[in-house]
Each structure stands twice: as structure tokens, then as C-alpha cells.
Amino acid sequence: MVERRRNRRLWWVAAIALAAAAVVGSTIVLNPDGGCDEPSAAPSAEIALMPAGLSFDRIGTVTGVQKVERQVMVQAITTMPPEEAAVLIQDAVTAAGYRPAGIESEGVEAQVFFTTASLAAGRARVRPSACEGRWAIDLVLPDRDAGP
């Protein structure tokens, strides 16, 4: 009786391990790039929320834009190294009327800081994404249209 239970448990453990291996194997075969599809661009209604003059055309794909209280938050994906992306983000945000306040780079990650005449600072962060060779960009800027 004890021997039969032990054999049954071993059979279940083997079956679960085999099923897990099949799932992992099929994921690798069906998604050789790790499941990283091309990033989807944010809808035009979201893009319209970006500050006037701000463009990510030279940087990467904007995947989302939100206005929360007095801030505009932009999410994007780029294939550029963080240092290069940080410089282009600084140029793009400066073209939109914000002032650069500095860049900090640590090789695999970079940050860019901004100010406006009367509003608090903004920040862009470029960090590794889940997909190899791509970096995620999180940009937070004060919403100049929100008023005082």
C-alpha cells in the first residue's frame, strides 16, 4: 500500500515536470526572440496629451501617455543605449520649452532632469527593459497647461 502511494506520487511529480518542460520548450520554439514583439505605439488621443513641441521621433516608440494631476507621464521604448537616448531626450524636452538641469548616467541606466520657469522639476529615466537590446523610458514632466 505504501509502495503504491509512493509510486503514484513519483508519477505525478514526473508528469508535472514533463508538462512544465513542454510549456517552456514550446515557448522557446514559438517565441525565439523571448516573446518581445515590436512595441505598440500609443493611440493618437494619448499622444495628444504630450506637451506641445515634444517629439520622440528620433528616440523611440511612445507606448503610453497619461496626465495625472499636474504631471504628464510618457512611457516609451528605444533601442538606443541609455547615454545616447538621454541626450536625445534632453534635446526633445528642451525643444518643448523645458530647461535641462543635468544628466546622470551609470552605463546601463541614465536619468535626465528638467525645470521650467516656475514649476517643479521633471525627470526622464532610461533603464533596461525585459527585452534584450531595448530600454524603457519613463518621462515625467510638470503639466504647464494645468495652471497654478
Nearest to 97 by CA among 111, 75, 118, 77: 118
Residue-wise pLDDT tens digits, 89-127: 999 999 999 999 889 998 899 999 998 876 657 999 999
Alpha-carbon distance 16 to 76, whole Å? 39
Nearest to 137 by CA among 91, 94, 99, 86: 86
Per-residue pLDDT band for 29 (boundaries 50, 70, 90) equals: very low
State the CB neighbour count (10 A cutoff) for residue 56: 23
* pLDDT for 121: 74
Residue-wise pLDDT tens digits, 33-74: 556 899 999 999 999 999 999 999 999 999 999 999 889 999
pTM (2 decimals)?
Answer: 0.74
Query: Is residue 100 within 8 Å of 58, Cβ to Cβ?
Result: no
Per-residue pLDDT band for 5 (boundaries 50, 70, 90) equals: low
Total residue length of the chain: 148
